Each structure stands twice: as structure tokens, then as C-alpha cells.
Amino acid sequence: MNERSSRRLAIEGVEEFWLRSQNDEPEPTAVYRPALLVECSINFRSLRAGLNHSEERNHTAWIPERDMAIDWDSPAATFGESISLTKQPASNAIYEQGNYLTTKSDLERYEAELIDKLARSERLRLFFNPVFGLFSVPQDALSDFLARVAERALARVEPELKRLRNRFELQFEQVREAHSTKDLSAGDLSERLISSNLHFFESENRLAAMFSTLAGTVFGAIEPRSRIEPYKADEVELRESLERIEQEASRALRALYDEYLLLANEYDAFEIGLQHDNINVVRSGLLWVPVSE
């Protein structure tokens, strides 16, 4: 077990800091243990992603005893909103007395090891859509990125939606004109004509609902809605014509919907690494961390 004392490790020419919580004072039995603090700014750059993104990072690791290596994979402290640094230690602070042989050159070597580690392993991960060449921004959630992709996908399929709507509206009007001419030539302006008009009205509303908005077609139900007015026995031809148009429209919209899904959900992971000159040390020093006994 390491000894404890009011004396502390001192390294000439090295700045010292004490970790302090803004909410609580260290426990009476807390012992300050030495760690190395390196505050740095890292810059991720990618011409392909059009990104120049900087982040401020705090890295800490316990000062090793004797000739042991420093472990940058095990942080000595985690910084948060309630944690601050001070250069004024408590008058009654107790320090861990380990077998520390660390010199200023050792700290510089530890710092260089951290920079090498960051350059080897640190990656900024983005999402990338190869269809539209879209990249997410740092800290973007996948759902937020896919929402942007969906907007592009909607714009891609909108012209085809308009073409389909014009096509089936034309077919609908051709059927209406053919049946109106047939009814008028037969001199039938009574119940049969009224029934036909009702069927045209219902079918037209169903067709318009399918093509009302792109969101309604690709996100909502695209199957023809149920009919209200039943067909009469002598309206077989009219029924077949209107049902054919609605079914063809439904199939075409479903194909468009499938195409939209492929476009809207396409993404890959894109990683940006670091070069040594993208890592700038802002300050470093000896950090005293209170540890419960």
C-alpha cells in the first residue's frame, strides 16, 4: 500500500492542477493521486466530405510508478459540467506517496505517446449516401441524416409521380368520355346515368387520394379504398375499366414506393482519421485527482 503525506510529487517546470467538484468538497479520507493531463485540439479534415471540424479534448492517465508504462486507455478522471480545475490546493490535502521516478522528459514522452495513439486510432465517423453524395455532420444521429436523404429521395421520385398521375388521370377521362357517349347515345339520362356518375365520382376520389401528395403515397396506404356505391349487374364493363385503372395505379405507386425506400435508406459509414499535425496540445501538466481511500 502506498503511503500518504502532506508532501507531494513535484516536477520542476511542470504546471500543476487540482481536480475539484463544483458541488462537493473532497471526502475527508480522499487522497490525491498524480495523473498527467493533456488538453488538446484535434482537427478532422476531409476534402471529399467537405469537412473541417475541430474538437477540444481532455486526456488523463495515472502517472506510472517505477519504470512502468503509462496507460492512456484508462482515464484517471472524467470531466463534466460539475468538474473544474484549480491551481490552489486545499491546505489539508493528503497526497499518495508512490515510487514515482517521473521527470519532465518522461511527461513529454508520455504526451508524444498520446499523440501517436490518437493518430493511429482516433476516427470521426460520419454517414454517407452514395446515391446523392450526402454526408452527415459530426454528432448527427442516423435518423437525422436519413431525414435529409429522404428529402432528396422525394425530389428524385416526384417527377415520376407527376407523370404517373397524368397518365392515369388521362385513362380515367377516356373511360368517362366513352361511357358518357354510350349513355347519351342510348338516350339514358335517368337512373343508369346517375349510378355511373356516382361510380366515376368515387373512383376519381380514390385515384386523387392516391396521388394527392407524395408523402401520402409513399408513406401512407396506397391500396384503393373500399367502394361505397355497389355496381349494378349491367355495369360490368364500367366496373372492370375503373378497377383496372385503380389497380394499375396502385401497382405503379408501390413500385415507386419501393424505389423511394431504396434511395431513402441507402447509407454507408465514412471515417476520417487524424494526422499528427492535426493534433495541437493546448496545455499539459500534473493533475492531482482526489481518490476515495
Percent of the chain past pLDDT 90, that is, above it, reads: 43
**Can you name the residues that pair with 187 across neighbouring β-strands?**
none
Other C-beta atoms within 10 Å of 82: how many? 10
Within 162-267, strands assigned E span none
Judge contact between 112 and 276, C-beta under 8 A. Answer: no
Please give the average per-residue pLDDT across 149-159, as a whole number.
Answer: 90
Q: Which of 250, 215, 288 is nearest to 26 (CA)?
A: 288
pLDDT digits (tens, 9 = 90+) for 121-145: 999 999 999 999 999 999 899 999 9
pLDDT of amino acid 92: 80
Residue 123 or 30, more confident: 123
Q: What is the pLDDT confidence band of residue 187, given thresholds at 50, 70 and 90?
A: low
Count of residues making up the chain? 293
Look over the chain and give the mean of its residue pLDDT values, rounded to a whole number: 84
Is the backbone of residue 282 left (phi > 0), alpha (psi -120 to 50) or beta? Answer: alpha
Every domain of the chain and the residues it spans: 3-123+273-291, 134-264
34: Cα separation from own chain's centroid: 38
pLDDT digits (tens, 9 = 90+) for 157-184: 889 888 998 998 898 888 888 877 665 5
Whether the predicted pLDDT of 222 surpasses 70: no
pLDDT of amino acid 219: 47
Whether the predicted pLDDT of 27 surpasses 70: no
Whether the predicted pLDDT of 197 surpasses 90: no
Cα within 13 Å of Cα(149), Cβ side: 27
Q: What are the contacts of 99-102 at 24+ separation with CB within 8 A?
A: 99/65, 99/66, 100/9, 100/34, 100/63, 100/65, 101/65, 101/66, 101/67, 102/9, 102/11, 102/63, 102/64
Amino acid at 155: A
Q: Which of 147, 35, 140 is nearest to 85 (CA)?
A: 35
Q: What is the pLDDT confidence band of residue 118, given thresholds at 50, 70 and 90?
A: very high
In sequence order, which residues have a C-beta less than 8 Å from that of residue 242 and are 6 or more positions away?
172, 175, 199, 200, 203
